[in-house]
Amino acid sequence: MRDTPSRRVLFQVGAVVLALLVTTVVLIAAKAPPLAAFANIVQGAFGSWDVTSNVLVAWVPLLLVTSGLLLTFTVGLWNIGIEGQIILGGIFATWALRVYGSSGMSPTVVLILAFVAGMVGGSLWAMLAGALKTFGGVNEIFGGLGLNFVATALNIWLIFGPWKRPGVASMSGTLPFDQRLWMPTVTPQSMLSVPTVIIAVAAIAIVYLMIQGTYFGLRLKAVGKNAKAAYILGIPTWQHMMASFALCGLFAGVAGAVQVTAVYHRLIPSISSGYGYLGLMVAMLINYKAAFAAPVALFFAALNVGSIQLPIVLRLDSSLAGVLQGTLVLFVLLGHGVRQRVLKKPQVVS
């Protein structure tokens, strides 16, 4: 058999079907009606404009994070530290809001400052992981995991320490910011903020262009596929790794700033919402192809939001969404492997 685009789609679809099957088996084992469960997820994600706007709210940071991760994946790095980078983005954005929020500057300026601060925070944290790898020889996966722990601890320390609510520390986070400093939303009750959607779409577009069309992207690709050869071809390798870390951290930082300014309006202990790890899954699922990032991230966001219905309606744990996402990634990766064994790649004419 030859590997053609249509067969590739077949494999992808097959993976999705298998993942659904496994999830169904899990559901049956949990004595839950599978169809009702899936129907509830769909209903919970697209049943009304309210829930759909919630899906978009989750989509924005997820897409931002995925965009960043595509860059680190391109250069051959596993930026597990992405969670910490989101957190630092959130912390820096909060810091900016605390410092400039009452300075009399216009809210727009303050919010822009918060986003810039978030970028700086995420970027710095990512470069720390990069420096550990480049200069300390610490594998980015371990370094990243360590930095995630540190970031979480730092965040909680801030919330329960210097930035706690007057008199009372609270797990629900710092005191909400003044309403002036909330990102504008579509309607007052919605959390969906159009500017953040625009930022996220711009992010993935930039990354797409960067990888497809720029020298920088091409160099990243070369380093990712063969660092030794790339170096001999004249590409400064560690500098490119650092740059991709910094850029990825920047996008993660924006995601953190979005969480703080548009979703929670305060800094909360789990400000990253696990979007970093979810983003890793999305990136793997789309086989690191930027073109598919937006729809697949939307799908994951929908699963996350839709599955909130499960505990309410079916008394099921909403981690079912996680099961589905996890098996999906697993099967798609498996599918890649099988495809490479079964189908031969078509090659360019010589």
Partner 1 sequence: MLVELRDIDKTFGKVRANAAISLRIPPASIQGVLGENGAGKSTLMKILSGFYTPDSGEILLDGKAVQIHSPADAIRHGIGMLHQDPLDFPPMKILDDFILGRQGGLFPNHRAASREFRELAGQFGFALDPEAYVDSLTVGERQQLEILRLLWLGARVLIFDEPTTGISLPQKVKLFDTLKKLAAEGMTILFVSHKLEDVESLCTSAAVLRQGELVGAAEPPFDTRLLVEMMFGKELPLAPKKTAVPGGKILSVKSVSIEGVRLQIRGVDLDVRSGEVIGLAGMEGSGQSLFLGACAGLTQPVGGSFCLDEDERDMTGRSHLEFKKRGVAYLPAARLEQGLVPGLTLTEHFVLSEGLGGLFVDRKKAEALAKERISTFNIKGTPESVVEALSGGNQQRALLALMRPRLTLILVEHPTRGLDIESTIYIWSKLKERCEQGTAIVFISSDLDEILQYSDRVLVFFAGQVSPPLRAESLSVERLGALIGGKDWENLPKEAVNA
Partner 2 sequence: MRKTMVLVLLLTLTAAVGVFAQSAPPAAGSNLTIGLVMVGPYNDHGWSEANYDGLQYVLAKVPGTKLVYIDKANSSDRPGTTVSQLGESLVAQGAKMVIFSSDDMTDEAIKFAKAHPDIFVILTSGDQQWKEGKNYQPLPNMINIMGKVEYMKMVAGFAAAMTTKTGKIGFLGPLINDETRRLASSAYLGARYAWVHYRHRSVDSLKFKVTWIGFWFNIPGVTSDPTQVADDFFNSGYDVVISGIDTTEAVAEAAKFSAQGKKVWAIPYDYKNAIEEGKGVSLGVPYFNWGPAYVNAAKAAMDGTWVNHFEWNGPYWKNINDPDKSAVGFNKGTLTREVSEDVDRFVGQMARGLDLWEGPLYLQDGTEYLKSGQKATDQQIWYLPQLLKGMEGQSVSK
Contact region for partner 2 (CB under 8 A) — 24-32, 226-234, 244-252, 261-269? 261-269
Distance of CA 347 to the CA centre of its chain: 34
57 neighbors 198 (Cβ within 8 angstroms): no
Report the C-alpha gap between 303 and 37 in whole angstroms.
11
Task: From 239, 238, 210, 251, select the one nearest 123 (Cα to Cα).
Answer: 251
Q: Is 250 exposed, middle or buried (0-12, 13-18, 19+ CB in 10 A)?
A: buried
Asked whether position 323 contacts partner 2 by CB under 8 A, the answer is no
The item of partner 1, ligand ATP, partner 2, none sharing an interface with residue 98, based on CB under 5 to 8 Å by kind, is: none
Over the window 232 to 271, marking each residue x when it contacts partner 1 by CB under 8 A and - when it does not, the resulting string is xxxxx-----------------------------------
Report the C-alpha gap between 136 and 305 in whole angstroms.
40
Report the DSSP beta bridge partners of residue 2: 344
Nearer Cβ to partner 2 (149/202): 149
Asked whether position 205 contacts partner 1 by CB under 8 A, the answer is no
Asked whether position 8 contacts partner 2 by CB under 8 A, the answer is no
The item of partner 1, partner 2, ligand ATP, none sharing an interface with residue 54, based on CB under 5 to 8 Å by kind, is: partner 2
Tallying the residues shown for the chain, one arrives at 350
The item of partner 2, ligand ATP, partner 1, none sharing an interface with residue 189, based on CB under 5 to 8 Å by kind, is: partner 2
Binding partner 1 (rule: CB under 8 A), the pick from 158, 218, 308, 334 is 218
Shortest distance, CB of residue 3 to partner 1, whole angstroms? 11
Q: 102 is written with which tokens?
A: 């009452």
Asked whether position 309 contacts partner 2 by CB under 8 A, the answer is yes
Asked whether position 289 contacts partner 1 by CB under 8 A, the answer is no
Over the window 46 to 65, marking each residue x when it contacts partner 2 by CB under 8 A and - when it does not, the resulting string is -xx-xx--x---x-------
Fill in the amino acid letter for 167: G
DSSP state letters, 39-93: HHHHHHHHSSHHHHHHHHHHHHHHHHHHHHHHHHHHTT---TTHHHHHHHHHHHH
Asked whether position 268 contacts partner 2 by CB under 8 A, the answer is yes
Residue entry with tokens 């924005």: 60
Asked whether position 184 contacts partner 2 by CB under 8 A, the answer is no
DSSP state letters, 226-261: -HHHHHHTT--HHHHHHHHHHHHHHHHHHHHHHIII
Asked whether position 337 contacts partner 1 by CB under 8 A, the answer is no
156 neighbors 268 (Cβ within 8 angstroms): no
Residue numbers of the site for partner 1 (CB under 8 A)?
213-216, 218-219, 221-222, 225-226, 228-236, 344, 346-350
Given the rule CB under 8 A, which residues bind partner 2? 44, 47-48, 50-51, 54, 58, 153, 156-157, 160, 164, 167-173, 176, 188-189, 191, 263-266, 268-275, 304, 308-309, 311-313, 318
